[in-house]
A and B are shown apart, each in its own frame.
Chain A
Amino acid sequence: MTSDHAADMTSDHAADIDRHVRVYITVFVALMALTIITVAVSYLDLPPAMAITVALFVATVKGSLVACYFMHLISEKRLIYAVLVITAIKFVALLALPAITHGNGYWIHE
């Protein structure tokens, strides 16, 4: 699945690819089902905190499926994991900025 597979496209890998294709189709069906669930839940009129939690949880599951299987992160090289760990730390820091702003009292209330 990684580039060294691509570098060696012999018939030994044909069965390998067939197995991957079955996984892709399973992931596709799961993504469709989760999309329907996301939309269906939004019609339940849950309280905002609950609605946000459910919607973001389902989106995270969907995103992980895309990243792990379509983007092959389930079996990637260490250097790419290292890049992504650093990215994830900075991404979380970025999303935490609004909360930090709030905590510092820079917030303007009505």
Chain B
Amino acid sequence: MEADAAKLIGAGLATIALAGVGVGIGNIFGSFVSGALRNPAAAPKVFGNVLLGFALTEAIALFALLIALLLLFVF
């Protein structure tokens, strides 16, 4: 059953990617809030870009999830 154990360990390791994504999403919204406090008038204009950046960063987390699911269910 070493192969099964290796699968589970691999799927767990795949979630390490969440560290980077956490930094990324925090960075996006942190920068947005600090920018919006400095210049509140410009905040609504960039909110679309913030959401786009959030979705692109979140997708990276989901690529990691995909790897975890592939390891668990495909191999």
- Check if A and B associate: no
